[in-house]
Amino acid sequence: MNKRVLLVEDEPNIIEAIRFILSRDGWRVDTHADGATAVEAVRARVPDVLVLDVMLPGKSGFDILKELRASPATETLPVLMLTAKGQSRDRELAERYGVNRFMTKPFANSEVLESVNALFAGATGPA
């Protein structure tokens, strides 16, 4: 079974780092860098897990998450939110909008891999 993740991130170095660690673990990694069209990208690609940055051009990750949770097609999509903004109010807002996991930058590669795999396992049930 192909494991598919969509990474919505606009920082090239972070894109490459996450693509590398997830690809090495067998994930197919699609990327998208524009917040304004991110919801359409999610619907078109239907990933197993979404990794979503908060600060994006065009639309914030919070707004994207809120829109995804409002749609029956994506309301249960596992979402890991990444942000350089680690204030408690950011975490609270993400949780209010339905994030599954929240991680601040900089992050450990092993932490991203563990979180994505845990979200996938929770989404698909026991292996």
Q: According to CATH, what is the number of the domain 3-124?
A: 3.40.50.2300
Residue pair 5/48 in contact by the 8 Å Cβ criterion: yes
Mean pLDDT of 31-58: 96
Residues linked to residue 28 through DSSP beta bridges, in sequence order: 4
pLDDT band (50, 70, 90) for residue 46 = confident
Q: What is the pLDDT of residues 75-110, one digit of tens each?
A: 999 999 998 876 889 999 999 999 999 999 889 999
Q: Is the pLDDT at 49 greater than 70, yes or no? A: yes
| Angstrom distance (rounded) from CA 69 to CA 87 | 22
Beta strand 79-83 with 49-53: parallel, antiparallel or unpaired?
Answer: parallel
